[in-house]
Chains A and B, each alone.
Chain A
């Protein structure tokens, strides 16, 4: 690891101010991506601003038709939250599948979304449920947030403060883990909003990062059942093609995982 200066922020405003002072600042949430990358000397931020202990960034709230998860809430807290388990059990289930216990006790939803790893689990839930990403500057709709591999709509220094999930009428997640990393080789989140709109998002499969699968969405819009997908053809255009999953295998897994997400 290269030398860096660590700062612990006690409020979002303080963190944002600290960020502007460093020549190449980085926010630190759970650190389960940033720290390993720094240890491998692949990242060399001048300053690290730790968001993990900012009280206003931790917690889960349910209000009316939405569940709001604050940005520094850990995967473990989401997975075990009675509020989440009751309102959106698929989201609690998804959080329970992330990484291993060490990752789940440190990693946060805000960190995962800001990083936007193409194989991370949370982006699938956020996109499929049409969640809103709240920052210290604005609110961003899920459809506008994800901009490809490790790229988001966040501006320099902008901090995610919370994610607001509209409670869906139906939702499910199925993940086929990568045999080595246990990230999603393919993960599919299916959701039907209370107004009846079907949204399906896949993570792990595409070279463009998390994306919606319109072929699956239209089939399920007509008939919310696994059988409805039997004859759906998924194109392998633009899908990853690597040691652990060829693009045709991943295309096939999108359908299979969508069917299993419906069952789950």
Chain B
């Protein structure tokens, strides 16, 4: 490796501007003539909009326009879409209700927009939004899955009878029935996966700027995938054709999935900008973020696992109900199906699996992908099942797992996924060694003698990342291909620009991607610029989610690099009067192997652009583009073990140790990987102990501020001990798998397994707040 190449923990190039307050976020952007939007939002979870009187609001100072849901429908702006078609087990397509960007007739969750006020200042817009009089007729609301599917429950959408979007299944029901018929032991559990509010540090924001002369829109937005935003806005929402719409996602302060989607506010800003003839800005406040950023998780499941007399797993049966909220968000349908149930084999040989998933509408904020997206729900379910099974079968939980590990690859699971490679035993061993698993019994006994409840919990996770092979996801109902593209430009003076469709919003791409170039060409990373987040600059791209940026986006860069290198070698060979096959690249020099003849990269680049002396027939210039479509998912996997103590007097959990042994394939920048794991673990532990988005029975949010929604703070978290075991991914030339979601996928089960071990009561749901743990200790489950 070079000093700044693959494997080097170089400091992040982008951090200088971030930590000196010089990042350029959407809300920092000011345009001439900029005016401000503020939405009038529903205070009710379910109501008819009988009328909107904006006459008083229009008279307020600075008000330019008050626009309503009916107007956006009249102007034929399209309804919001869900981009992945799921087919129910009876063969019927999923049943979706219409979702206009502002509600013309019915509101279905607290916070849904019914009108927007455009005014000269933000405060004027807020003042006037309060003067918009909306006549609501309140309807009965159902915020809860169980209530929503009851006979006679209030119906959200006429298109979805019984509030059911789909009733889907995967696997072999008969084979699972057979497995249970011959089981020596059966383990059963009911599990809840708690609803989370994503809360990226930067709230969502949009500026829409319509150019009347060019009939062209520019949208600055907080997006993880600006090209996808442009595609959807033009192809489905009727805003503008693609060549008349530029989408820019500049610095974005965290996404965690919540900024994948195209939200009503961006659509309204674009539409309003043309209507009022001025650039329109909208920036969410934190309350709006709680109400309208799409939430994550929210499953209830029943799981049953069959074991033979030797404790080998025979089969798994799962029935899950997933809460989609009031509308189907962009990728929501895929999350509890193809991103969840396809991972239910975990790290284990399970000969038969059958899972049923019912997607349900409720009067709550829409639910979609949130860091891990389906895979944390699968991993939590399986790993609590394995720990519970070990306790029921009276065997060590690590031994039960090891006995059932998949050990030969490739391995075809019964639920679509084909694991390419892994070494689950190695990561389990590494984690057990790191935490001194063998010494735990002694530590527990010592803690007991001091009046403390100590527990240990294991979680062996696997995830499918590098999303995704286009043909495969297309066959499963995806509306788009999930390849990535890159352009490598070597400039005439030898500096390099990489244009990538992967968007960086905290992941450190500007450093990691530059390291790929440094490794290949031997140039310092300061000579490499990563350009992303602008549809006018970057050819195309599918964006950042599903731990895909390096495995898919990075590979596209490598593919484009290979083309650049091939051309550069031809130029070098011509200049050095050598055979192309003899040219090797070393430390930024193109050398004739075995001689002292060489030409530096800048001279090759200059030759390419002066074009005074190129090989006959060669085009000038040195830039190449590649589109890369992966052949399979990647499968990061690992083991997390958590050791903690519970204060029996208060139910409070204190960490003693938390170890992570991950297999992410090859690491490009280990320091950045470490940061990604820390962040993921914080979110997984946050879900396990603290975070919960809650509604009352009327659909009013109970946790719409940080006073009630417990975000993890630094002192809620332990110091993590990280390590890596490595099997190189065979599916891409870098051998990488992705690391962004692992922590959030694997951590929660380890924590809950440790607490239930400590208190010797398995009836405990997330988040395991002190209140809940205390009740569990005292046998009063809540």
Contacts and interface: CB of A to CB of B under 8 A. Distances in A.
Interface of A: 1-2, 40-41, 176, 179-181, 243-246, 249, 252-253, 256
A179 B126 contact: no
Contacts of A245: 771
Given A40-B287, A179-B690, A179-B769, A253 B650 contact: yes
B709 A244 contact: no
Interface size class of B (residues with CB under 8 A): 20 to 34
16 contacts: A40-B287, A41-B126, A41-B130, A176-B652, A179-B769, A179-B770, A180-B703, A180-B706, A180-B709, A180-B711, A181-B708, A243-B702, A243-B703, A244-B769, A244-B771, A249-B651
B123 A1 contact: yes
B403 interface: no
The listed residue with most B CB atoms (<10 A of its CB), out of A2, A176, A245, A249, is A249
A253 to B, nearest CB: 6
Nearest to A181: B707
Given A246-B775, A252-B774, A180 B708 contact: yes
B96 interface: no
Interface in B471-504: none
A243 B694 contact: yes
Contacts of B771: 243-246, 249
A97 B429 CA distance: 42
A252 B782 CA distance: 16
Contacts of B692: 243
A239 to B, nearest CB: 13
B710 A180 contact: yes
A246 B287 contact: no
Contacts of A176: 650, 652, 770
Interface string B628-666: 000000000000000000000111100000000000000
A249 B774 contact: yes
B57 to A, nearest CB: 16
A40 B126 CA distance: 11
Q: Which 10 A-B pairs have the closest CB atoms?
A: A180-B710, A179-B710, A256-B649, A181-B707, A249-B771, A245-B771, A180-B708, A249-B774, A179-B690, A244-B771
A181 B123 CA distance: 28
B708 A256 contact: no
Nearest to A100: B713
Contacts of A256: 649-650
Given A179-B710, A253-B650, 5 more contacts: A41-B130, A243-B692, A243-B703, A244-B769, A249-B775
A180 B123 CA distance: 29
Interface of B: 123, 126-127, 130, 287, 649-652, 689-690, 692, 694, 702-703, 706-711, 769-771, 774-775, 782
B44 to A, nearest CB: 19
A233 to B, nearest CB: 15
Nearest to A250: B771
A245 B708 CA distance: 12
Nearest to A39: B285
A2 B649 CA distance: 45
Contacts of A180: 690, 703, 706-711
B708 A246 contact: no
B63 to A, nearest CB: 16
A180 B769 CA distance: 10
A157 B711 CA distance: 38
A246 B651 CA distance: 13
Contacts of A2: 127
A94 to B, nearest CB: 18
A243 B775 contact: no
Nearest to B702: A243
A2 B702 CA distance: 25
B754 to A, nearest CB: 18
Nearest to B126: A41
A43 B757 CA distance: 48
A41 B652 CA distance: 35
Contacts of B650: 176, 253, 256
A245 B769 CA distance: 9
Contacts of B770: 176, 179
A41 B702 CA distance: 19
Given A41-B126, A179-B710, A256-B650, A246 B690 contact: no
Contacts of B689: 179
A124 B226 CA distance: 53
B66 to A, nearest CB: 19
A252 B780 CA distance: 14
Contacts of A1: 123
A176 B690 CA distance: 15
> Which one of B650, B692, B702, B711 has the greatest number of beta carbons of chain A within 10 Å?
B650
Contacts of B706: 180-181
A176 B649 CA distance: 11
A2 B60 CA distance: 14
A207 B343 CA distance: 47
B782 to A, nearest CB: 7
A246 B702 CA distance: 15
A216 to B, nearest CB: 15
Which of B689, B692, B770 has the largest count of A CB atoms less than 10 A from its CB? B770
Contacts of B775: 246, 249
B43 to A, nearest CB: 14
Contacts of A244: 708, 710, 769, 771
A257 B649 CA distance: 9
Nearest to B767: A179
A246 B775 CA distance: 9
A1 B769 CA distance: 34
A117 to B, nearest CB: 11
A108 B361 CA distance: 47
B708 A243 contact: yes
A2 B708 CA distance: 25
B405 to A, nearest CB: 36
Contacts of B123: 1
A41 B130 CA distance: 11
A96 to B, nearest CB: 14
A220 B495 CA distance: 77
Nearest to A119: B707
Contacts of A252: 774
A141 B421 CA distance: 73
A213 B157 CA distance: 53
Contacts of A179: 689-690, 710, 769-770
A1 B123 CA distance: 8
Nearest to A183: B707
A253 B648 CA distance: 11
A214 B351 CA distance: 64
**Which of A179, A246, A256 counts the most B-chain CB atoms under 10 A from its CB?**
A179
Contacts of B710: 179-180, 244
A202 B651 CA distance: 19
A211 B123 CA distance: 41
A244 B709 CA distance: 10
Contacts of B702: 243
